């Protein structure tokens, strides 16, 4: 019988995701896109990594006590990661989420043992398009519950563990998997943790790596351009709010992607590469394709496939 590793819990299989060369979607272009399949984490997204890192750092620092409740605001992915980690470690978890996010995420968190609190959107916000104003309402409720229950707030937008998850793990994996043959790294701006963590590590090894931040075309907040429409379809980011974890010194430039571009490329990824992913993954690959056609011809671009298309079946992404 061959030897095999047996893990003591599913939290131990988070990370070490495979890297795939997207050779079909880039046919005819000069350069390469290497995609890290983060949707193969147990909770089907890259946010499993920060769920694990934040909880384990809090345990080590004595900030999270046995049997204490954990609370976090989420668009669904961080909440799923935290639900998994809290479930196997024995903590009660409360996820606070806007009603604008896809229903699958709330159902998945509940199935994983989380208590899910859904918050009404701000007046005028369309379902499926969560704005910074919507998120501010979710933040208020998350703060209130944390106080009422004397809970530990995972606080993904401020907790350094969010950066560490990608600095210590994702970025290191990218470097190893590509044998350091990386010219460009890019990521859609969500909490800023993936961008900052990966960029820090990759620049440590190769200071001249170019790092691009991807934004919704209608809401180019971080690049300082006028915001035409804060309500966009790329769930999990583009919130038009200050991101304490985003280190702008690491940003080479900004790329702006429309809802239509993100949607079309996500569909192409499924059909051509067999990669079934969500809006922000479509945005990442759309941005990489744009770079290969323009200022980064011939480059090796590395990025993450952030989450699974299964989380968007109630949206119009795969209609």
149 shares its domain with 19: no
Residue 159 lies in a domain: no
The predicted model gives 49-77 an average pLDDT of 96
The predicted model gives 112-119 an average pLDDT of 97
The predicted model gives 53-60 an average pLDDT of 98
36 shares its domain with 106: no
What CA–CA distances, in Å, run from 16 to 34, 171, 200? 15, 11, 18
Residue 3 lies in a domain: no
196 shares its domain with 283: yes
88 shares its domain with 202: no
Tell me phi and psi for residue 272, to 5 degrees. -90, -35
Q: Which residue has the tokens 């604008």?
A: 100
pLDDT of residue 24: 98
pLDDT of residue 319: 85
Residue 5 lies in a domain: no
291-306 pLDDT, tens digit per residue, is 999 999 999 999 999 9
177 shares its domain with 284: yes
Q: How far apart are CA 313 and CA 66, in angstroms?
A: 37
* Residue length of the chain: 319
pLDDT-based confidence at residue 1 (cuts at 50, 70, 90): very low
Enclosing H/E stretch for 152: strand 152-153
- What SS3 state is found at 260? helix
Q: Is the pLDDT of residue 102 over 50?
A: yes
Q: Is the pLDDT of residue 89 over 80?
A: yes
183 shares its domain with 303: yes
Residue that finishes a domain, picked among 121, 153, 185: 153
Q: Which residue has the tokens 């699958």?
A: 104
16 shares its domain with 72: no
179-207 pLDDT, tens digit per residue, is 999 999 999 999 999 999 999 999 999 99
22-28 long-range contacts (CB < 8 A, ≥24 apart) are: 22/269, 22/273, 22/275, 22/285, 24/272, 24/273, 25/265, 25/268, 25/269, 25/272, 25/273, 25/285, 25/289, 26/289, 26/292
218 shares its domain with 256: yes
pLDDT of residue 147: 98
In this prediction the pTM is 0.95
The predicted model gives 278-291 an average pLDDT of 98
Residue 34 near residue 300 (C-beta atoms within 8 A): yes
DSSP single-letter state for residue 38: G
237 shares its domain with 146: no
41-56 pLDDT, tens digit per residue, is 999 999 999 999 999 9
CATH code of the domain in which 21 resides: 3.40.50.1100
The predicted model gives 240-246 an average pLDDT of 94
Q: Which residue has the tokens 């429309």?
A: 258
pLDDT of residue 163: 98
Token pair of 82 as six digits: 């935290």
Residue 319 lies in a domain: no
Residue 15 lies in a domain: yes
Residue that finishes a domain, picked among 122, 153, 184: 153
The whole-chain average pLDDT of the chain stands at 95
140 shares its domain with 241: no
> Half-sphere exposure of residue 21, counting CA atoms within 13 Å on the CB side?
9
Residue that finishes a domain, picked among 153, 182, 214: 153
Residue 20 lies in a domain: yes
Residue 284 near residue 305 (C-beta atoms within 8 A): yes
Antiparallel, parallel or unpaired: β 93-98 and 19-21: unpaired
Residue 2 lies in a domain: no
82 shares its domain with 63: yes
Q: DSSP 3-state helix, strand, coil percentages of the chain (rounded to 5)?
A: 40, 15, 45
Instruction: Count structural domains, the chain.
Output: 2
DSSP single-letter state for residue 311: G
1 CB contacts (<8 Å, ≥6 apart)? none
pLDDT of residue 4: 66
Q: How far apart are CA 194 and CA 167, in angstroms?
A: 8
56 shares its domain with 133: yes
Domain that holds residue 148: 47-153
* Percentage of residues of the chain with pLDDT beyond 90: 87
For residues 19 and 239, the model is more confident at 19
Residue 54 near residue 289 (C-beta atoms within 8 A): no
The set of catalytic residues is 47, 280
Residue 56 lies in a domain: yes
């Amino acid at each position: 019988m061959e030897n095999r590793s047996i893990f003591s819990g599913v939290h131990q299989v988070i990370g070490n995701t495979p890297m795939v060369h997207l050779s079909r979607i880039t046919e005819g272009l000069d350069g390469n896109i290497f995609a890290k399949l983060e949707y193969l984490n147990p909770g089907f997204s890259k946010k499993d990594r920060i769920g694990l890192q934040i909880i384990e750092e809090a345990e080590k620092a004595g900030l999270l006590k046995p049997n204490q409740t954990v609370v976090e605001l989420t668009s669904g992915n961080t909440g799923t990661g935290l639900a998994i980690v809290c479930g196997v470690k024995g903590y009660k978890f409360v996820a606070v989420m806007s009603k604008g996010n896809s229903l699958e995420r709330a159902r998945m968190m509940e199935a994983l043992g989380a208590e899910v609190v859904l918050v009404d959107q701000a007046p005028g916000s369309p379902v499926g398009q969560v704005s910074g104003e919507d998120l501010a309402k979710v933040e208020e409720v998350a703060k209130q519950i944390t106080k009422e229950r004397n809970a530990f707030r995972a606080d993904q937008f401020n907790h350094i563990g969010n950066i560490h998850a990608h600095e210590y793990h994702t970025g290191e994996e990218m470097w190893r998997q590509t044998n350091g043959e990386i010219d460009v790294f890019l990521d859609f701006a969500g909490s800023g943790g993936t961008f900052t963590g990966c960029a820090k590590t990759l620049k440590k090894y190769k200071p001249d790596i170019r790092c691009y931040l991807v934004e919704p075309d209608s809401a180019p907040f971080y690049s300082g351009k006028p915001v035409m429409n804060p309500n966009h379809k790329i769930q999990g980011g583009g919130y038009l709010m200050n991101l304490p974890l985003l280190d702008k010194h690491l940003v080479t430039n900004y790329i702006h992607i429309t809802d239509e571009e993100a949607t079309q490329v996500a569909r192409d990824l499924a059909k051509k590469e067999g990669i079934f992913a969500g809006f922000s993954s479509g945005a990442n690959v759309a941005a990489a394709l744009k770079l290969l056609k323009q200022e980064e011809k011939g480059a090796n671009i590395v990025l993450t496939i952030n989450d699974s298309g299964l989380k968007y079946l109630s949206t119009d992404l795969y209609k």
